[in-house]
Structure 1
Amino acid sequence: MPHPTQSFVRNCLLSVIDAAGYAAIGPHLEPVDLPKGTVLIEAGKPFTHAHFLNTGIGSIVVSTADSRRVEVGIFGREGLSGFGCLLGVDQCPQTTLVQVEGEGYRVAVDALRTACQQSASLRETLLRYVHVFISQTSYTALSNANQSVEGRLARWLLMCHDRVTGDDIALTHEFLSIMLAVQRPSVTTALHMIEGYGFIKARRGHITIKDREALIDFADGMYGVPEAEYRRLIGPFG
C-alpha cells in the first residue's frame, strides 16, 4: 500500500508540519482501522506504536488495583497516542483506548523518535501538543474539583464534539460513567437535566448536540482555554 501524501491525511499534527517533517515521518505511517474498545497503550507495558487519528476519539484512563477508573484526557484528529515516547520514557501507568471508532495511522516508536531527530518541525509540533494535552488534563482536574456532574458532562461533550464530524456522538452510559467517575444512575440524571434544558438530545448509545453555545455557557469557563492554546500554538482542529 502506498504511503499517504500529506494532503490526504486528516490528522492536524501531520497536516501542519513542513514538507521535510512529513518526509521524515510519512514513510513510516501504517493505515489502521480503530474499532471501539481497541487498546492502543496498555498500562505498565512498553510502548510499541504511536497512533495519529484521522477520525474517532481516543481516551486515556487511569485505574486502581481495585478497578476504580476515571478518564483523564481525550484526543482525536488533533493529536496522537503514546506521546510519552517523545519524552524519553518507555511506558506509562495509564491505558489508552478507542472510545469512538475511527481510523488513522500507527508508527513504530523507534521510527517516530528517529523522525523527530531528523525534523525540527515535527519534533517541535509534537512537543507543543504535549504541552496542550497537559493543559487539557489540568482543566480536567479543575473541572472535577469544582463542577457538578452536569457541568463536567457539558465540558466533556464539547470536547467530544470538537473531535467528530457533525453533531452526533456515539457514547454509552458505561463510558460516560468512567469519564465522570460516577455511577451510571448519576450519568442518566445528568443527561436528563442537560437534555431538559434543550442543549442535547440523548438516545441509547448516541448524544446529539443541539445548542453548542448554550452548552459552552453551561460549562462555566471550564471549556475553551486548552482549545485556544492548541489554536495558538498549532492551528485549527481541522
Structure 2
Amino acid sequence: MHQALPSNALLAALSPEDREALTGAATLFTFQVGHVFVEAGEPVTHAYLIRRGIVSAVAAMADGRTVEVFMVGREGITHPAASAAPVRTYSRHAAQADGEAWKIEVGRLRQLCRERPAIQSTILSYASTLQSELEQSAACNALHRAEQRFAKWLLRCHDRIDGDTLNLTQEYLAAMLGSQRTTVNEAAQALQKTGAITYSRGKITIIDRAMLERTACECYNGRTAEPPL
C-alpha cells in the first residue's frame, strides 16, 4: 500500500507557532461525499485545509458536460488565492470522498497572512504548484488517451485516501474525466484486464499500483502537489 501523507502537508510545512495560529483560527469540519463547499460563480467565504478526504473542483459547460479541473486532498488547501484577495470560483467544489478539514473564514486567513508572512508564503508556494498542475492537465486532456488519463486520475485519488478502494459510479467517473460513460467503461475494463484494478458495481479497488503507474501518462509524477518543506 502507498505511504500516507501527513495529516495536512501544508500545515506540516509551517513552524509550530504558525501552525497553531492557523488551526486556532479554524474549526474542524466534517464532510461527506457530495457535500458542496461552493458553487461556481459564488464568492469564496471559507478555505479548507483538508485532513482527510478529497475535494474536486468541477467545471460545467452550458450543455451540461462537466470535467474535474483539479482535486485537493491532505496535501493542501481549497482556494489558495483567497489568502491574498477576495475571489469568486469558476468551478463547483464538492466532496469526492468523505473527510474532514480545518475550515477558516477567508478574511481571517488574509489577516493571518499579513501578520505571519510564512503562512502566506507557504500557501502561495502550494498555489504555484497547483497552477503548474493545471497547465499540464490542459495538455493531458487534449493529447492523452482515456485509459492513460483514467489511470493517472485513479493514482491521484489513491495518493489522497487511506486504503485501496474507491466508490465511484460510471456516471461520476465520466463527469470527472469529461468523457462518455462508454469511454470510461472501456478504460476501466482495459485496466481490469491488466490486473491493475477490479471494477464492479461502482467500486474500484486498486490491486497492482505499479501496473497502474506504467499505464498512466507522463503527467503523473508520483506525488501530489505538496508545498515545499
Q: 1:168 aligns with which of 162, 165, 168?
A: 165
Amino acid at match of 1:171: L
186-195 vs 15-24, greater mean Cα deviation: 15-24
135-144 vs 53-62, greater mean Cα deviation: 135-144
CA contact (8 A) 2:9 2:74 kept: yes
Amino acid at match of 2:93: T
Q: 2:90 aligns with which of 93, 97, 102?
A: 93
SS in 1 for 2:52: coil
User: Match for residue 148 of structure 2?
Assistant: 151
- Structure 2: which 5+ runs fail to align? 1-5
User: Match for residue 5 of structure 1?
Assistant: none
CA contact (8 A) 1:24 1:118 kept: no
| Distance in 2 between residues matched to 1:65 and 1:144, nearest whole Å | 19
| Distance in 1 between residues matched to 2:94 and 2:115, nearest whole Å | 29
User: Match for residue 111 of structure 1?
Assistant: 108
TM-score by length of 2: 0.91
1:1-238 matched pairs, under 5 angstroms:
10-224=7-221, 227=223, 230=225, 233-235=227-229
The total of aligned residue pairs comes to 224
Percent of pairs with identical residues: 33
Which portions of structure 1, spanning 4 or more consecutive aligned residues, are displaced by more than 6 angstroms?
none
User: Match for residue 6 of structure 1?
Assistant: none
| Distance in 2 between residues matched to 1:196 and 1:135, nearest whole Å | 33
SS in 2 for 1:56: strand
SS in 2 for 1:166: coil
Q: CA deviation at 1:86?
A: 2.3
| Distance in 2 between residues matched to 1:25 and 1:224, nearest whole Å | 30
| Distance in 2 between residues matched to 1:162 and 1:203, nearest whole Å | 21
Q: Note the aligned Cα RMSD (angstroms).
A: 1.7
Q: CA deviation at 1:170?
A: 2.3
If each structure's helix is expressed as a fraction of its own residues, which one has the higher value? 1
Q: CA deviation at 1:129?
A: 0.7
Q: CA deviation at 1:37?
A: 0.8
Q: CA deviation at 1:87?
A: 4.0
CA contact (8 A) 1:201 1:208 kept: yes
Q: CA deviation at 1:144?
A: 0.8
- Structure 1: which 5+ runs fail to align? 1-8
61-70 vs 43-52, greater mean Cα deviation: 61-70
CA contact (8 A) 1:41 1:82 kept: no
